[in-house]
A and B are shown apart, each in its own frame.
Chain A
Amino acid sequence: MPFNQKLQKFNAKINTVTIGSGDKTVTIGGDSTYPFYSFDAPSENAPKIGVEISDMGLENIVSEGIKAYYDGASTIGEMAKKAAAMEGADFVALILEGGDPNGVNKSVDELIAVVKEVADAIDAPLVVEGCKNVEKDAELLPKVAEALQGRNVLILSEKEENYKAIGAAAGLAYDQIVGAESAVDINLAKQLNVVTTQLGVNAQKIVMNIGSAAAGYGYEYVVSTMDRIKGAALSQNDNMLQMPIITPVSAETWGVKEATASEKDMPEWGPEEERGIDMEVMTAAADLAAGSDAVILRHPEAVAAISRMIKALA
């Protein structure tokens, strides 16, 4: 008696969202299975990888490998070009961390100049991440959306506290894609999608960032939230949870002790470069296994490894 193979077919699917304009676009979502379950039904779009660069350049980068990759790039525009050309990269993610009022606190105008320089330098699809401060982002991201009219960029992200300003600007006024960020909880994710669509934003133009963590740092919440969101989207056909998921990985992984502690301080741990890469690789792989449709990474080797994994599984 052979194995009675039972396929798990869902009548619902994740929305497809295309980021970018012109010839260079990238499309995520579209699947009607759990991640990489191509034995149940063929996959529409493999997950995509974004390469993250910062308005702060290499200032906060500790990895020698990342620094080496951008060697010779003297402007943010040149960095963006290199990021777009990285092997395995599907899009570029610009994080405006310098805007944080508790940090360098760059002005909105200064950051918009950075955004424009990057946008002018590359034609690859672009994701712009704010500085994470809700008040500043509420001011900054609508200006980003305005500055990049016509580029169909993904704006990361609106949160419960500032969804009106960012959702209205990105999703309504300037016709970009809205990134909806919630804190690892299915109900919060759904609620944000509901109120964003109530503003009038088209549900097909929303991508979720359901929150993330580095492996070992409360990652169980990420797993269960993604499992449940995919489950509700596919088996319950819940159209307020069918938005594809993007996960900025590097911002989490390059800050944890496992990646930052120097070999001098922790000799038994070995070179920090390898630790940083593996923390990024393993967290990204776990995100993809749980349901991310796109991940944002930094290290060229991590991008290459995850790209190989996606190709092998797709």
Chain B
Amino acid sequence: MLIDRIFNGNDAVYGLTCQAVEEAIAQHGADKAVEFPHTAYCLPCYYAVTGVKVKTLGEMKEALGVIKSLMTREHQLDDALMSGVATALCAEFIEVLKYLDGAEPYSEPYYGHLPDSIIRELGVPLVTGDIPGVAVIIGSAPTAQEGVDLVKSYQAQGILVTLVGGIIDQAQELGLKMGYNVRIVPLGKDITSVIHVVSVALRAALIFGNVTPGDAAALIKYTSERVPAFVNAFKPIDDVILAAGAGAIKLGFPVISNEDENITEVPGALIACPNVADFNKVSLEARNIKIKITNIDIPVAFASAFEGEIIRRKDMQVEFDGSRVDCAELVQTRSMDEVEDHKITVVGPDVDEMELGSKNPIAYVVEVAGKRMQPDFEPVIERKFHNYINCIEGVYHTGQRDMQRIRIGKEAYNAGFRIRHIGEVLYTQVKNEFEAVVDKCQVTVYTDPAECTRIRHEVAIPVFDKRDARLENLTDETVDVYYSCILCQAFSPSHVCVVTPERLGLCGAVSWLDAKATNELDPNGPCQIITKERPIDENLGSYEDVDEAVQKFSQGALEHVTLYSIMQDPMTSCGCFECICGIEPFSNGVVIANREYAGMTPLGMTFSEMASMTGGGVQTPGFMGHGKHFISSKKFMKAEGGIERIVWMPKELKETVAERLNKTAKELYGIDNFTDMIGDETNTTDPEELVAFLTEHNHPALSMDPMM
């Protein structure tokens, strides 16, 4: 049905074109030159699709044969779409005939053909996103006002709007200012004039995409991926418009229409949208266009200079305090249709209704949706809230999760700052900074006490618990990829961290989830995916994939790295490690020193002496830098027997890690209170005395296989 209509429309246009060309030849002769003004691409669409430059009426006639060959009638969707392309090429032929003999067929307000220079000029803002999209509006809107409102909505978003047919009259009727300089370009009255915007898209592919003319596949790939255009076609849609629309769809431009008769939807390509007021939203979503937000709509300043501002009690209008009343901050991933972009809802009283200097509950839930959004990114986004809210002039924030504290200063309040503005800030910053994963975002801020209690206890805490559980259960075995981290290469050129779920970066600051999020947000950035498909020795944690990655990211300085051994190809260190472990031969185990510990260790070396040997990206078998958290990991020097090898660490460090370390020891070896067996500086810093201490406490390392 739909396909038949497209074929019909195509046949009709083709017939008209043949007739027009014949008539022109009859009138001017086959040698008559045809060209559009100010382009180096002859008939740009035909040239882009076929690679052939058509310069005379005679050549046009031959070209019609080529177009005919596109018009296959197999009754498949793709035949229909190719017929759409054929229709577009015919439209170009019809249009170029209008320019015979240097005629100027279009005059104010119509533009018709657009010169190459406009494309070069448009290319830059299209690439930068300053022009986030190109709208092609065809036909007459149900009412002039609806049409103009639609055009204006695109204009306000910076989108370039091209108009064909009745909508131009409607715009004129309401006195809308049009012109290239205001990004509203009326092309022409006839449907064929739509080809002038298609011509822009295809020339962009040739100029900006280096697409070879005639390489139709590359051409379509370029327009689909790089030209953010879409079509809004008002009813009634006749067969010819439908055929032209099929051409647009073939180029990757979705068609949105309020037509409801004799039409079938094609998901993602031909979309029914009965209400013209929804065209904008539906179009942007269909073409995946994101509008850049340039300023935050709040009555006070927003800048990092305010990050360190502290609001004292006497300067405070109101405060919110998670340690006293129910508060929470939370990011939740939703599906695309569950989120209305930029919807800010406040549930409960505003600052005006709160008593001066009072303590109140607050909970804000930021719901995000995006094709590439993953629940694992939620905590990464959440962690930025502190920074976002703190950058507001006159507002102060500390803490996180359900323990945050916020103060709003009197000056900010007097300047008009209200609860909704917290939502505005969160919305804008999340959209801007997490553009790569967040397509839509809505914020609900609760100040109603009962709601805050509900959000905290029934929504937020269960989510936090679930996340913690997921972190606990993430193991090296349960994930498919690891990540490299080369954030420190500025200081330590040949160092590469391999971050796994059970071995966070040695600085202690980059977990596997952080690395994963960094990679998604900045695919060319410091964290890259490392596959683990080709294990060499799983006990050592050596993989061909890991070795290749390490070689690549260290520019050849490193060849092999194992994940779980400190004796064989241990992982290198940049210098920002929290701790270093080193082999202690007399007790057949390892000593760990942390950065804060300035004293001597049983190795006869201080932390800084050990650091000078292990830093700078060199491999020093027997020594390795690592994060504090890694000490209680089941993967800690697993190849050498694991945490049972730990014979000494500074008292303070021991206390920090005791709970988790003892838990791991119990799980792995059934040892209770393992840390009691480990020496520290209050026992001894002498290797012989350490052996005596270990013997006395029956430390398991003494009876293990020799480390070397």
Interface residues of A (CB under 8 A from B): 138, 142, 146, 164-165, 167-169, 172-174, 185-187, 191, 194-195, 198-200, 202, 224, 228, 231-232, 235-236, 238
Contact = CB atoms under 8 A, between A and B. Distances in A.
3 closest cross-chain pairs (CB), A and B = A168-B127, A173-B120, A164-B128
A168 B489 contact: no
Quick one: which of B125, B208, B210, B555 has the most chain A CB within 10 A? B555
Given A191-B524, A200-B210, A232-B555, A173 B123 contact: yes
Given A173-B208, A187-B489, A228-B555, A194 B524 contact: yes
Contacts of B556: 231-232, 235-236
B490 interface: yes
Nearest to A168: B127
B148 interface: no
13 contacts: A138-B128, A164-B129, A169-B123, A172-B208, A173-B120, A173-B121, A173-B124, A186-B493, A187-B489, A187-B526, A195-B524, A231-B555, A232-B556
Contacts of A202: 210
Nearest to B555: A232
Given A165-B124, A195-B524, 19 more contacts: A142-B124, A146-B120, A164-B124, A165-B128, A167-B127, A168-B208, A169-B124, A172-B127, A173-B120, A173-B121, A173-B207, A173-B208, A186-B489, A198-B524, A199-B127, A200-B210, A202-B210, A228-B555, A236-B555
Interface in B439-490: 486, 489-490
Nearest to B525: A191
Nearest to B127: A168
Contacts of A198: 524
B119 to A, nearest CB: 8
B379 interface: no
Nearest to B130: A165
Given A169-B124, A187-B489, A200 B555 contact: no
Nearest to A193: B524
B209 interface: yes
Contacts, number: 64
Interface in B92-147: 120-121, 123-125, 127-130
A197 B493 CA distance: 24
A228 B493 CA distance: 8
A231 B556 CA distance: 9
B127 A165 contact: yes
Nearest to B119: A173
A146 B119 CA distance: 12
Contacts of A167: 127
Contacts of B123: 168-169, 172-173
A142 B130 CA distance: 14
Interface of B: 120-121, 123-125, 127-130, 207-210, 486, 489-490, 493, 524-526, 552, 555-556
Nearest to A166: B124
B207 A172 contact: yes
A267 B680 CA distance: 61
Contacts of A174: 120
B573 to A, nearest CB: 18
Nearest to A194: B524
A168 B524 contact: no
A61 B208 CA distance: 40
A169 B130 CA distance: 13
A138 B556 CA distance: 36
A167 B123 CA distance: 11
Contacts of A228: 493, 555
Contacts of A172: 123, 127, 207-208
A187 B208 CA distance: 26
A191 B487 CA distance: 13
Nearest to A174: B120
A185 B124 contact: no
B374 to A, nearest CB: 23
Quick one: which of B124, B127, B490 has the most chain A CB within 10 A? B124
A226 B125 CA distance: 33
B687 to A, nearest CB: 39
A199 B125 CA distance: 13
B526 A168 contact: no
Nearest to B553: A187
Given A185-B490, A186-B489, A235-B556, A164 B127 contact: yes
A239 B214 CA distance: 29
Nearest to B494: A228
B210 A238 contact: no
Contacts of B208: 168, 172-173, 200
A36 B179 CA distance: 57
B456 to A, nearest CB: 40
Contacts of B130: 165
Contacts of B525: 191
Nearest to B125: A165
Nearest to A188: B490
Contacts of B210: 200, 202
B218 to A, nearest CB: 12
B309 to A, nearest CB: 25
B128 A224 contact: no
Contacts of A142: 124
Contact of A168 (B128, B490, B493): B128
Contacts of B127: 164-165, 167-168, 172, 199
Contacts of B209: 200
A125 to B, nearest CB: 23
A173 B207 CA distance: 6
A238 B555 contact: yes
Contacts of B552: 236
Nearest to B522: A191
Contacts of A231: 555-556
Nearest to A195: B524
A202 B538 CA distance: 42
Contacts of A194: 524
Nearest to B490: A185
Nearest to A221: B490
Nearest to A240: B524
A200 B126 CA distance: 13
B124 A168 contact: yes
A215 B560 CA distance: 37
A178 to B, nearest CB: 13
A164 B123 CA distance: 10
Contacts of A199: 127
A167 B120 CA distance: 13
Nearest to A190: B524
A69 B226 CA distance: 50
